[in-house]
Structure 1
Amino acid sequence: MGKLVALHLKMIVTIVDGGTGQDVVDFSKEAGAVGGTILHGRGSGVHDAGKFFGLDIQPEKDIVLTLVPAEMELSVMEMIGKGIKIDKPGNGVCFSIDIEKAMGMTSIKSFGETKTMDELNS
C-alpha cells in the first residue's frame, strides 16, 4: 500500500503576539483540530511599532499553522477568533489557505478524504 495523501484541506494561519501561539493551538483543539505548528517571527505592522530608549522595537510574533478538513475550517477559525478576541485591534490576524494535497501527518486518517499515492498516480 502506498503512502496516504489527505485531499482538500485548509491551512488556517494565525499571527499573534509572541508567547500566545499555544493559546491558538488550544482554541483550535477545542474546535476539533488535531493540533498546530508554531513558528516565530517579527511584527512590522501599525500596532507593532514601539520604541525603547530611542531604539525601534520589533515585537516577537507567533505564527500558528493549523491543517483541518475543509468542513472544519469555519468552526476552527471562529473558535480561534473568539478565543484571542481578534476583533480588538492588535490582537492578531487569522486567514485560511486551500491545500490540495498533504502527506506526512501521523493522524492523516482524521483529515477527511484520503487516497494512496498509488491511486493518485494511476
Structure 2
Amino acid sequence: MSKLVALDLKMIVTIVDGGTGQDVVDFSKEAGAVGGTILHGRGSGVHDTGKFFGLEIQPEKDIVLTLVPDELELDVMETIGKGIKIGKPGNGVCFSVDIAKAMGMTSIKTFGETKTMDELNS
C-alpha cells in the first residue's frame, strides 16, 4: 500500500517562553488543530538576555510546530495570538509557512487533500 501524502498545508510556528508551549497546543486544538510538536530552545533576542550574579542568563523557549489545512490557518493563529496575548512585547511570535507535501501524520485524512505516493510519482 502506498503512503498517503497531505497536500497544501500550513505549518504554524509559535515561539514562546519555556513552559508555555503546551498552552499554545491547547489553544490550537481549541481552534480545530489536531495537535502540535513542542521543541525546546534558547532565546537570544533583546528581551531574552540578563545577568544573575554576573552570569549571563539565556531563557528557555518553546517552539511549537502545528500543521493545519489551509482553511484553518487564520483561525488557529488568531486563537493562539489571543491566548498568549501576543500583542504584549516579549510574549512570543507566531508565523506560518507553506508546506507543499507532508506525510507520516496519524490523522492525515483530516488534512484536506491527500494523494498516495504512487499517484504523485505517476
Q: Provide the TM-score with structure 1 as the length reference.
A: 0.99
Partners of 2:68 and 2:46 lie apart in 1 by 30
The match for 1:17 is 17
Partners of 2:77 and 2:36 lie apart in 1 by 13
Instruction: Specify the SS of the correspondent of 2:46.
Output: coil
| Residues 32-74 of structure 1, C-alpha deviations (whole Å, 9 max, x = no match) | 0000000000000011111100111000000000000011100
Instruction: Specify the SS of the correspondent of 1:90.
Output: coil
Instruction: Specify the SS of the correspondent of 2:99.
Output: strand
Instruction: Specify the SS of the correspondent of 1:87.
Output: coil
Give the count of matched residue pairs.
Answer: 122
Partners of 1:3 and 1:65 lie apart in 2 by 22
Instruction: Specify the SS of the correspondent of 1:98.
Output: strand
Residues 1-122 of structure 1: matches in 2 within 5 Å?
Answer: 1-122=1-122
| Sequence identity percentage | 90
Partners of 1:3 and 1:40 lie apart in 2 by 30
Tell me the C-alpha RMSD between the 2 structures.
0.5
Q: Provide the TM-score with structure 2 as the length reference.
A: 0.99
In structure 2, stretches of 5+ residues that fail to align are: none
In structure 1, stretches of 5+ residues that fail to align are: none
